[in-house]
Amino acid sequence: MKILSRYFLKEFFKYFFLILIGMTVILLVAEFFDKMDEFYTNKSSIYLVFQYLLLQAPKSLLLVTPVASLLSILFTVGIASKWKETVAIRAAGGSLKKLFSSFLLLGIVISVSVLIFSETLAPLATRKAAWIRNIKILKKSPKITYREGALWLKGLDGSLIRIRDFVENKNKVLKISIFILSPSFEIQKRIEAEEAEWIDNRWKLKNATVFDFNNDTKRHKALIYTGLEEPNIFREEMRKPGEMNFSELYAYYKRLENAGFKNLKYIVELYGKLAYPTVNFVMILFGVALALNARLGGGLRAAGLGLVVIIGYWLVLSISLSLGNTGTVSPALAPWIGPVVFGITGGYMFVRIKE
């Protein structure tokens, strides 16, 4: 059985890497055509375009790994059925269910590997790709700098502004400090406010204190400030959830939560980083059960059903994430609905496999 296990594992990895690389290339080609107008308009060099697409590859790999896991196990068992290899194993007294149970351990290994990959290389590459697109290709000048755990930017009036966090769904910034400088770059005033909110196309500072080094200190419950750009500047330049790993996103979310703001989208994204890698195990479990289930046709016919499974999974995932983002279901639970539902279904089918 060990020889057969090694043989089928070799076949699995052959299909796995072919599908993984093939689908990743397809996604990168689609990304190229999607951004082709930007490349052409800004006369980007071939090297720059290639560098951008290469840095997009880790994100694409994460997207297609569950599909590669499912289709690979279906092709492995399906072709074995076509060439009567499964019949020969049964005739020799072997157990197909026991033989392919080793693939469940492989599913765990792939899931753990994907989790590590998604927490290390993938966010770094995605972040670098975004930087190349904005700075090198679109030739935008960075307006926000991350330093000392805060956001720093230059105000429209020439002031220097420090902001702790931006609350995207509320159009608010937290713990804002504004340093108004003289022509000789000496600090004339400093304004400290607990938060600022974008209201009627302008920023309204709340509980602000104005430290005027030439006059007395003044406190204001509300103060209009026009030196800060519109909220879109933060949406465009701040790191997206896909550019952060679990610990970075968790730290950002906790800062907002401690300040009294709860963004459901960030909770969904946070737990999605843990739930998504488990899909690889679920797909291999589902694939083994589907391929060895004689009532479903088994073999190559199961490969066609595998496409239905993939479509069904992404449909369930999309609906559950939408429900989580709106608060209809718990945002911490929403990313787990798909893996749990398909995991239970696949497990039931696996137990019901008849030798």
pLDDT digits (tens, 9 = 90+) for 101-118: 888 999 999 999 999 999
pLDDT the model gives residue 270: 93
166 strand-pairing partners: 173
Query: Are residues 13 and 129 both part of a single domain?
Result: yes
Among 208, 228, 248, the domain-final residue is: 228
CA–CA distance from 260 to each of 17, 49, 97, 248, 253 (Å)? 46, 42, 52, 19, 11
CA–CA distance from 49 to each of 25, 84, 231 (Å)? 14, 48, 29
Q: In terms of C-beta density within 10 A (0-12 exposed, 13-18 middle, 19 or more buried), how is residue 200 classed?
A: exposed
Query: Are residues 40 and 107 both part of a single domain?
Result: yes
Among 205, 228, 251, the domain-final residue is: 228
| Number of separate domains in the chain | 2
The sign one gets for the Cα dihedral 214, 215, 217, 223 is negative
Among 228, 245, 273, the domain-final residue is: 228
Q: What is the pTM of this model?
A: 0.85
| Phi, psi angles (nearest 5°) of residue 225 | -130, 125
pLDDT the model gives residue 252: 87
Task: Classify residue 244: in a domain, yes or no.
Answer: no
Query: Are residues 108 and 22 both part of a single domain?
Result: yes
The sign one gets for the Cα dihedral 65, 89, 101, 303 is positive
Q: How far is Cα 163 from Cα 259, in angstroms, rounded to an integer?
A: 13
Domain region containing 162: 144-228
Task: Classify residue 257: in a domain, yes or no.
Answer: no
Per the CB < 8 A criterion, the answer to whether 8 and 83 are in contact is no
pLDDT the model gives residue 193: 94
* CA atoms within 13 A of residue 142's CA, in its CB half-sphere: 14
Specify the 3-state DSSP secondary structure of 44: coil
Q: How far is Cα 204 from Cα 193, in angstroms, rounded to an integer?
A: 10
Task: Classify residue 279: in a domain, yes or no.
Answer: yes
Task: Classify residue 63: in a domain, yes or no.
Answer: yes
> Who wins on pLDDT, 48 or 298?
48
Query: Are residues 130 and 275 both part of a single domain?
Result: yes
Query: Are residues 161 and 117 both part of a single domain?
Result: no
User: What's the whole-number mean pLDDT along residues 160-185?
Assistant: 89
- Token pair, residue 63, equals 């997207």
Task: Classify residue 81: in a domain, yes or no.
Answer: yes
Amino acid letter at 130?
A
Query: Are residues 132 and 276 both part of a single domain?
Result: yes
Query: Are residues 168 and 129 both part of a single domain?
Result: no
User: What's the whole-number mean pLDDT along residues 122-138?
Assistant: 93
Task: Classify residue 190: in a domain, yes or no.
Answer: yes
Specify the 3-state DSSP secondary structure of 42: coil
Query: Are residues 27 and 110 both part of a single domain?
Result: yes
Per the CB < 8 A criterion, the answer to whether 162 and 176 are in contact is yes
> In terms of DSSP H, where are the helices of the chain?
2-34, 36-41, 46-82, 85-91, 96-99, 102-119, 121-131, 232-237, 246-258, 264-292, 299-326, 334-351
- Token pair, residue 144, equals 């926000």
> Who wins on pLDDT, 319 or 81?
319
* CA atoms within 13 A of residue 6's CA, in its CB half-sphere: 2
Q: Which residues contact 294 (CB under 8 A, 6 or more apart)?
A: 354
Task: Classify residue 246: in a domain, yes or no.
Answer: no
Query: Are residues 12 and 106 both part of a single domain?
Result: yes
Q: Which residue has the tokens 């299909």?
A: 15
Query: Are residues 131 and 148 both part of a single domain?
Result: no
Identify the band that residue 128 occupies on the pLDDT scale cut at 50, 70 and 90.
Answer: very high
User: What's the whole-number mean pLDDT along residues 132-140?
Assistant: 91
Q: How far is Cα 55 from Cα 130, in angstroms, rounded to an integer?
A: 9
Q: Which residue has the tokens 């569950």?
A: 66
pLDDT the model gives residue 278: 96
Average pLDDT score, the chain: 88
Tens of pLDDT along 237-292?
888 888 999 999 998 888 888 878 888 889 999 999 999 999 999 999 988 888 88
pLDDT the model gives residue 303: 65
Task: Classify residue 239: in a domain, yes or no.
Answer: no
Query: Are residues 7 and 105 both part of a single domain?
Result: yes
Q: How far is Cα 163 from Cα 276, in angstroms, rounded to an integer?
A: 32
Mapping DSSP onto H, E and C, the string for 101-158 reads CHHHHHHHHHHHHHHHHHHCHHHHHHHHHHHHHHHHHCCCCCCEEEECCEEEEECCCC
Query: Are residues 47 and 6 both part of a single domain?
Result: yes
